[in-house]
């Protein structure tokens, strides 16, 4: 997870962009985020997009990463009733959709809860 750290104001912008999202300074350097954070808010979505039927219901969370940025992410390896605000999560690479006609499998980042011992 590549982000940018602003050398002028210290703000971390995710995903990486060459301009700071807070002070608009150009003096930024790339930084690799660890992918760890906590759930700030979440929603269980029952109205999915075409091609994502097998994910329903989706758990979408607003996650505050350790390095500061807040991002939206899909939770995986979790049931809606287990999720709570403040829960620790970590990023993992997972399959998101399959284009059976062209034979392409799409992967992207999702977040799974961090449980004791995991």
Note the residues at the interface with other proteins (CB under 8 A).
Answer: 14-15, 21, 40-53, 55, 58, 60, 62, 70-74, 96-97, 106, 108-110
26 vs 70 by CB, closer to other proteins: 70
DSSP string, 73-108: EEB-S--GGG--TT-EEEEEEEEEEEETTTTEEEEE
Q: Closest approach of Cβ 93 to other proteins, in Å?
A: 11
CA quadruple 60, 65, 70, 71: dihedral sign = negative
47 vs 116 by CB, closer to other proteins: 47
Strand, helix or coil at 53?
helix
Q: Closest approach of Cβ 72 to other proteins, in Å?
A: 6
17 vs 27 by CB, closer to other proteins: 17
- Residue the block writes with tokens 């060459």: 18
Q: Closest approach of Cβ 116 to other proteins, in Å?
A: 27
Question: How far is 46 from 58, CA to CA, in rounded Å?
Answer: 7
59 vs 116 by CB, closer to other proteins: 59
């Amino acid at each position: 997870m590549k982000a940018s750290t602003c050398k002028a104001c210290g703000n971390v912008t995710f995903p990486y962009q060459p301009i700071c999202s807070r002070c608009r300074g150009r003096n930024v350097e790339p930084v690799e985020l660890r992918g760890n954070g906590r759930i700030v808010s979440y929603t269980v979505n029952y109205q999915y997009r075409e091609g994502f039927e097998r994910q329903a219901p989706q758990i979408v969370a607003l996650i505050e990463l350790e390095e500061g940025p807040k991002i939206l992410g899909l939770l995986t390896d979790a049931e809606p009733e287990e999720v709570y605000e403040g829960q620790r999560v970590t990023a993992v690479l997972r399959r998101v959709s399959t284009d059976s006609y062209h034979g392409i499998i799409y992967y992207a980042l999702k977040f799974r809860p961090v449980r004791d011992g995991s």
